[in-house]
């Protein structure tokens, strides 16, 4: 019976640790179509959610700081924001009708490890900012892929926006990793499982 209990605890530890510590990718576009989270968000206005791994993202599309008159849009070209008015690049982040931005947060804390955009042509064309934290002005110098490495807390607002005249880019993906403090959850679950198994054995 002791061997069985140990095997169960090991299995529980492995399943929890793989789910909690795994890098999670939120994918929006693969260069040809909207995919993953991009499909969930496509044609959606207002607050929208999607869950990948242990993370749930809550996001909203904005135009000039207002969520009225804008929504997420994915086509064969790219994934971005469609804003009311003529001349808008309907499936990209652009400044044709004003500053377009995506404001989002996560249900748990972690590290925002990387961001993958497409179509960056100008220096500082995009900005990724963390409320109360760092701000990253993104240029085309790194081939549209950016290593960020910024820590965030549960519910902290993160904004991806245009930041230059003529800005025009699409969102392909970003990756996040849960904070190390999540290990306490594993320890707690293991402790409870051990007590329950011990009582069953007794």
In this prediction, residues 67-87 reach a mean pLDDT of: 91
How far apart CA 22 and CA 185 sit, in angstroms, is 15
Neighbouring C-beta atoms of residue 65, cutoff 10 Å = 10
pLDDT tens, 40-65?
999 999 999 999 999 999 999 999 99
- What Rg do the C-alpha atoms of the chain give, in angstroms? 20
The pLDDT of residue 10 is 47
- pLDDT level of residue 89 (50, 70, 90 thresholds): confident
pLDDT tens, 8-33?
444 544 444 444 558 999 999 999 99
In this prediction, residues 132-161 reach a mean pLDDT of: 91
How far apart CA 84 and CA 81 sit, in angstroms, is 10
Structure tokens at 176: 């996040």
Query: For residues 17 and 177, is the Cβ–Cβ distance under 8 A?
Result: no
Query: For residues 110 and 179, is the Cβ–Cβ distance under 8 A?
Result: yes
Number of alpha helices (DSSP H) and beta strands (DSSP E) in the chain: 3, 13
Query: For residues 154 and 109, is the Cβ–Cβ distance under 8 A?
Result: yes
| CA-based nearest residue to 150, from 139, 134, 168, 132 | 134
The pLDDT of residue 22 is 81
């Amino acid at each position: 019976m002791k061997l069985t209990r140990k095997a169960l605890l090991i299995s529980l530890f492995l399943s929890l640790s793989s789910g909690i510590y795994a890098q999670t990718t939120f994918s929006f576009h693969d260069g040809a179509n909207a995919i993953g989270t991009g499909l969930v968000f496509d044609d959606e206005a207002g607050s929208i959610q999607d869950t990948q791994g242990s993370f749930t993202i809550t996001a909203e599309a904005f135009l000039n700081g207002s969520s009225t008159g804008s929504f997420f849009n994915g086509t064969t070209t790219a994934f971005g924001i469609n804003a009311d008015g003529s001349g808008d690049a309907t499936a990209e982040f652009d400044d044709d009708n004003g500053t377009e931005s995506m404001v989002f947060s996560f249900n748990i804390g972690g590290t925002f490890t990387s961001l993958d955009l497409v179509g960056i042509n100008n220096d500082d064309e995009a900005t990724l900012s963390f409320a109360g934290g760092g701000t990253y002005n993104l240029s085309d110098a790194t081939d549209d892929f950016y290593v960020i490495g910024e820590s965030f807390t549960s519910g902290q607002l993160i904004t991806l926006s245009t930041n230059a005249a003529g800005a025009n880019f699409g969102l392909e993906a970003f990756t996040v990793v849960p904070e190390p403090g999540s290990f306490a959850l594993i320890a707690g679950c293991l402790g409870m499982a051990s007590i329950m198994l011990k009582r069953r054995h007794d």
